[in-house]
Amino acid sequence: MKKFLGYFELRTGNIFIGMVSVLQSIFIILAGSASYAESSFSDFHLTWICMAALLLVVSLLFVKGVGDKISRLMVPWLLAMVPFILWLVGAGVWAAINPKMMDPVSSSLMIAFAILESYFLSCGVFYHRLLVREH
């Protein structure tokens, strides 16, 4: 089986990606809720929490699909990651332009995080294609 990051076996690596996605979704929901407590609730916070809730559900399906080698369960995560990555890049650029909202370091981290998520998405797509070819 192909190696992921030169260390993990591809299936194990994708389970790791799914678990990271589950954890990040939980932390994004918590951060969105915490920012609601500190400031007035805005559309940005609502988008943040809704995207993370969607990502949490499809991440759990992704982990189940990778674990049981069911490629159909991986598709919702693959589809949900595209707008999530675009949202991260857009929020990072918007935060860089609007320094009152977020410091420049945080906006740079959001863009770097989007690049990492893009890598995770490419690994997921590669494994999905591998599963489709196997079955």
- Domain positions in the chain: 3-134
Residue 7 pLDDT > 60 = no
Full 3-state SS string of 65-91: HHHHCCHHHHHHHHHHHHHHHHHHHHH
Give per-residue pLDDT as tens, 54-110. Answer: 888 999 999 988 888 888 989 999 999 998 899 888 888 888 888 777 777 777 888
Token couple for 70? 């069911």
The residue ranking higher by pLDDT, 11 or 121, is 121
Q: Which residues contact 129 (CB under 8 A, 6 or more apart)?
A: none
Residue 8 pLDDT > 70 = no
pLDDT at 67: 84
